[in-house]
Amino acid sequence: MEDGNFRIRDARPEDCAAIMKMIVELAVFENSEDYSHLHTCLLKCSFPVRCLLNLLKLLFFLGLQKDILEPGSIVSCIVAEYKRPEVETFEVIGYSVFFYTYSTWKGKVVYMEDLYIMKEFRGIGYGRIFMRRVAEIGLEKGCQRMQWAVLGWNKPAINMYKTINSIDLTATEDWHMYTMFKPQLLTFVTNS
């Protein structure tokens, strides 16, 4: 999908560094507990922080490439690019990670895990165009529904979702989303 200086395409291995940077930006934007915890641990450790950060970045980078970009991956990623008028090349300004799941009532579902546009490019309509591309891909794959989660305080995103006639299942049907992270999974499996 292209529109002058803005385009959307499948992610490639050379995009991983930009995607990784935006994943961290998203974690900071969402006040993510995981990001805060990692940052606190790094500040307290005696091992040189820069070395540890570089190691973590490398491990995450390799995992990102494997999980998102290898053939047969269960996760898909597209990127948004923008070409500034003063330069000849496009730069990655956003990413979306999504995958497919299944509803016994509706059939195949595309679940959008992340949709992120860099701050300087928000409020222009790129997020809406980007989200529409995920929806198009879902329809091309035979999906009957698209689903995602949003933090309750993220009013700009919620307002945009309202303009595209999406349904807040917590408000309309009282559905609540639960999760178990690996520690809870291990506890549940070993103590139940």
Burial class (CB in 10 A: 0-12, 13-18, 19+), 110: buried
Burial class (CB in 10 A: 0-12, 13-18, 19+), 93: buried
**Cα atoms in the Cβ-side hemisphere of radius 13 Å centred on 153:** 3
Whether 111 is catalytic is: no
- Whether residue 14 contacts residue 61, with contact meaning beta carbons closer than 8 Å, is answered with no
The token pair that represents 181 in the structure block = 């992270």
**Degrees (nearest 5) of the Cα angle 149, 23, 7?**
85
State the DSSP string of 76-95: EEEEEEE--TT-SS-EEEEE
Spot the catalytic one: 35, 100, 116, 161.
Answer: 161
Q: Which residue type, as a one-letter code, is found at position 121?
A: F
Residues labelled catalytic: 161
